Structure 1
Amino acid sequence: MATAYLRPDEDITGLPAQDAPATSFWKAGHPPTLIAAFLYFDLAFMVWVLLGPLAPEIAKTLGLTPAQKGLMVAVPTLAGALLRVVNGVLVDRIGPKRSGAINQVIVILGLFTAWSMGVGSFAGTLALGVVLGFAGASFAVALPLASRWYPPEHQGKAMGLAGMGNSGTVFAALFAPTLAKLFGWNAVLGLACIPLTIVLAVYLMLAKDAPSQPAPRRMMDYAALLKQTDAWWLMAFYAVTFGGFVGLAASLPIYFTDQFGLSTVVAGYCTAGCVFAGSLVRPMGGALADRIGGVKALTMVYAVAAVALVGVSQASGLPAALALFVVAMLALGTGNGSVFQLVPQRFQAEIGVMTGLVGMAGGIGGFYLASSLGLARQFTGSFAPGFLIFAGLAVAALACVAGVKARWRATWKTGARI
């Protein structure tokens, strides 16, 4: 029988962490819930970025400008960011399992309505983007659902595996353009309801809230978290790692079609390759952070991401750009897992709302990147300024990590590497 996470100073045996025998990862928590969290997150992420792969076709139909295309693919990211805070509160009130079911039903109904009624205007795409934000808010459900079952020494792996659900962006990039060519882009919205419904049924069967759910907090307690400097640092770090990942995932189909004249299907394949790289390494990033500490992992991540994004801004050919995007996504994906190795070390008791806050910051970072790339293309004729500014943000994050690491290592007493 699986045992839930107890306290930051205890492992799953209930003994102090330094005195308890080591327990393997797969025996430390509840694998069916971990699988359910991954599947739910995976399909939710698939539809969260759905407008990105469909953007070239939608833009042709509706006659959108580059700035409008950038805003269209950025709105789901911003809506998801804001709704993650709502989900963080909901998770603490009714538990992650029920919160996830509510979100999934809203997304399915929204997509079905959009398919049946049709989306015929730019304003309609923005409204759909808001509905898809509920899928992006799944982040604040899936991670606490998995995290609450695991002790500190396995948090990086648990959060990394659950968070690997961002690989759903690969499915969107692979299949949405082809289905749009065959049936029209509006039909893709209806087709997406099929796998979402299947996964919802599996989720309801497998997922189980951990027995040691923290007591619901008062609203003033949530506001109190924002008075803690560490909360803001973690939010800022995730705004760069996850913001870069999801911003690129939403924007690359537009970049590849506009910059190199690729067909939507080929652009989808290129995007899928880049996104797959970033998704694959998320659990590896968590495991790496468990081994060497999240601070050291983030230091490497920001340096590599900054160099790769500067290279992208100067790339003149598809092979070079593709290779640099893969490197950037590998770094950013590793960073996503690394940040969420740190979050439960500092805020285990508030993991629900902190996941929402940190996830919101990541979504805002993604909104900025996706929208800024569209604006840069429209007003300068090039995507390069957008990439260069985000590379600068990675350098700033690197400097901030260096500034806080000594204090964190001195004051966080968790028994895990920081």
Structure 2
Amino acid sequence: MAPSGFNIFSFTGKMKILHMTWFAFFLTFVVWFNLAPMLGAIQASLGLDRAQVTTLLILNVALTIPARIIIGILTDLYGPRRVYSGLLIVASIPCFVFAVADSFTQLALARFALGLIGAGFVIGIRMVSEWFPAHELGTAEGIYGGWGNFGSAAAAFTLPTIALMFGGEDGWRWAIGLTGAMALVYGFVYYASVQDVPKGSKYFRPKNATAMEVTSKGDLYFLLVMKVPLYIALGALAWRLKNVGIFNPATQYAVWFGLLLLYVYDSMLAVRANRRVFTETVPEFQRYKFKQVAILNILYFATFGSELAVVSMLPLFFTDMFGLSAVVAGMVASAYAFMNLMSRPGGGMISDRFGRKPTLLILTAGLAVGYAAMGVIDSSWPVWLAVVAAMACSFFVQAGEGAVFAVVPLIKRSLTGQIAGMTGAYGNVGAVIYLIIYSVVDASTFFFVIAGTAVLGFVALIFLEEPEGEIAEIDEDGNVTMINVSRAH
């Protein structure tokens, strides 16, 4: 049951912002996931082998790791209206390039660049948090994330049919090009239709734009540690590209060395942005605990990371396991993403009603069990039962995502974009790691590995603290505003 006063059928005020923003996110996912349902056609058209196909899947999520961090910073600085509009317009360019590519190298470069559009999610988290009070925030963020995430299912349902309508070997090019045109147009529509904050409200910006602010020395060291997996995932991608012949060994080592230098520079920026923690004690009312961010990062690694990986491989899984055609396999596999319409809003709504931590504990346990069940699927199963298992698993995955982002905006309002960016980036780290694992093991082992990481997430959750009370924000003039973060007034 939605909070009182929450009219999903309204298209005015905060509800207009929610609807305009979830649709922007929906389009980013249509564009981002226009690859999976077209893989069969692309593979046949350009003669790709399996290693090249799995590399394209990994490249699709790679750039999103740093992009979500950068886009989160830009969102906090310049506001979601400008950043979302700009992202949709700019990302349409590599989408068009991918549609006309005629070699694997061109496909790989365009798909890598297109990972930029996967960063759109974090922008809307900040936008929605500006328009909805704490007791409605889980529901609103769940609708934003769930209905937007449905873009991957919409792509799986519609793009193979659109490609067939155009016919011929190049039908996939028209289908993918169409998604780029939709993003381009909606970028201008969004800019003309929304505002960053309600009339009379203030948009809080971070004091330092180069790195996330923390409030203690221990948290600064923790932040530096939590940055490491982001670079490891990019290093693993370089290793994968060497294995399929895009990089030679010298290039791989050069990329690794460059990532090491980039981590050192990134760490220096973080220390410089937080040097006050070495010389003064941050007032209690201004503090937040970075461990909250770290726990949400781990949970999103297991939830959204697994969703990205599974959505990418599921059409091929159903084709190989049950001998389905590309169109039918795409539609069947989309059942996993279809659950986003209900699951992610449901996770946020339950979180609003019964508490953030209890909800996450239950959903994470269900996620582990669900993936373990998928690990035992084989060709002797009826197809309908395999689909039911995938949909049941996806409920816990996506409801868990909704519950994670019911917490993110309640940690520190002025840092919401950066916190959402880091948490979202961990989702992509999970996707890269899971897809690399998928490229070297069978599907059953792949699902069991995900179940194991969900267990680790459950253990981390024990240390999460339920957001309660108020958080303090200070504007450019030094005025203090207290923002309620309790789930009910």
Q: TM-score, normalised by structure 1?
A: 0.86
**Structure 1: any 5+ residue segments left out of the alignment?**
1-21, 377-381
Correspondence for 1:67: 51
Is 1:128 matched up with 2:126? no
Is 1:213 matched up with 2:199? no
Name the CA distance, whole Å, in 2 between partners of 1:256 and 1:324: 13
Counterpart residue identity of residue 178, structure 1: T
Name the CA distance, whole Å, in 2 between partners of 1:33 and 1:222: 27
2:72–2:122 Cα contact (<8 Å) kept: yes
Alignment CA distance shift 1:128-1:259 (3 Å) = farther
Stretch of structure 1 that moved more, 216-225 or 130-139: 216-225
Name the CA distance, whole Å, in 2 between partners of 1:371 and 1:68: 12
Q: Secondary structure at the match of 2:375?
A: helix
Deviations for 1:130-150, whole angstroms, at most 9, x for unmatched residues? 232122110111111111112
Name the CA distance, whole Å, in 1 between partners of 2:76 and 2:207: 7
Correspondence for 2:245: none
Correspondence for 2:324: 262
Alignment of 1:1-400 (within 5 A): 24-26=5-7, 30-115=14-99, 118-164=100-146, 165-183=148-166, 184-210=171-197, 211-219=201-209, 221-222=211-212, 224=214, 226=223, 228-316=290-378, 317=381, 318-376=383-441, 382-400=442-460
Q: Secondary structure at the match of 1:209?
A: coil
Stretch of structure 1 that moved more, 264-273 or 254-263: 254-263
Counterpart residue identity of residue 453, structure 2: L
1:156–1:341 Cα contact (<8 Å) kept: yes
2:31–2:180 Cα contact (<8 Å) kept: no
Over alpha carbons, which structure has the higher Rg? Answer: 2
Name the CA distance, whole Å, in 1 between partners of 2:374 and 2:97: 39
Name the CA distance, whole Å, in 2 between partners of 1:29 and 1:361: 32
1:53–1:253 Cα contact (<8 Å) kept: yes
Counterpart residue identity of residue 127, structure 2: L
Name the CA distance, whole Å, in 1 between partners of 2:424 and 2:13: 23
Identical-pair percentage:
27
How far the C-alpha of 1:409 sits from its partner, in A, is 6.5
How far the C-alpha of 1:95 sits from its partner, in A, is 0.8
Counterpart residue identity of residue 42, structure 2: I
2:206–2:415 Cα contact (<8 Å) kept: no
Correspondence for 2:486: 415
Alignment CA distance shift 1:205-1:220 (3 Å) = closer
**Structure 2: any 5+ residue segments left out of the alignment?**
215-219, 225-289, 472-484
Deviations for 1:89-138, whole angstroms, at most 9, x for unmatched residues? 111121111001111111222222333xx222222222122232122110
453, 463, 474: which is aligned to 1:404?
Answer: 463
Q: TM-score, normalised by structure 2?
A: 0.74
Deviations for 1:159-209, whole angstroms, at most 9, x for unmatched residues? 112112111111110011222334322222212133324433432232211
Name the CA distance, whole Å, in 2 between partners of 1:86 and 1:338: 24
How far the C-alpha of 1:365 sits from its partner, in A, is 1.2
How far the C-alpha of 1:23 sits from its partner, in A, is 7.1
Stretch of structure 1 that moved more, 408-417 or 186-195: 408-417
Name the CA distance, whole Å, in 2 between partners of 1:410 and 1:143: 20
Stretch of structure 1 that moved more, 33-42 or 212-221: 212-221
Correspondence for 1:14: none
1:222–1:353 Cα contact (<8 Å) kept: yes
Stretch of structure 1 that moved more, 297-306 or 97-106: 297-306
Correspondence for 1:4: none
1:66–1:375 Cα contact (<8 Å) kept: no
Q: Secondary structure at the match of 1:374?
A: helix
How far the C-alpha of 1:151 sits from its partner, in A, is 1.7
1:36–1:202 Cα contact (<8 Å) kept: no
Q: Secondary structure at the match of 1:190?
A: helix
1:66–1:374 Cα contact (<8 Å) kept: no
Count of residue pairs the alignment pairs up: 387
How far the C-alpha of 1:408 sits from its partner, in A, is 4.3
Counterpart residue identity of residue 459, structure 2: A
Correspondence for 1:12: none
Stretch of structure 1 that moved more, 86-95 or 173-182: 173-182
Stretch of structure 1 that moved more, 92-101 or 247-256: 247-256
2:335–2:390 Cα contact (<8 Å) kept: no
Name the CA distance, whole Å, in 2 between partners of 1:275 and 1:281: 10
Stretch of structure 1 that moved more, 238-247 or 367-376: 367-376
How far the C-alpha of 1:46 sits from its partner, in A, is 0.9
Q: Secondary structure at the match of 1:404?
A: coil
1:294–1:341 Cα contact (<8 Å) kept: yes
Name the CA distance, whole Å, in 2 between partners of 1:284 and 1:114: 35
Name the CA distance, whole Å, in 1 between partners of 2:434 and 2:149: 18
Stretch of structure 1 that moved more, 304-313 or 24-33: 24-33
Alignment CA distance shift 1:410-1:182 (3 Å) = closer
How far the C-alpha of 1:34 sits from its partner, in A, is 1.1
2:69–2:418 Cα contact (<8 Å) kept: yes
Deviations for 1:351-394, whole angstroms, at most 9, x for unmatched residues? 11111111111122122223322332xxxxx3111111011011
Name the CA distance, whole Å, in 2 between partners of 1:361 and 1:262: 33
1:48–1:76 Cα contact (<8 Å) kept: yes
Counterpart residue identity of residue 63, structure 1: G
Counterpart residue identity of residue 450, structure 2: F
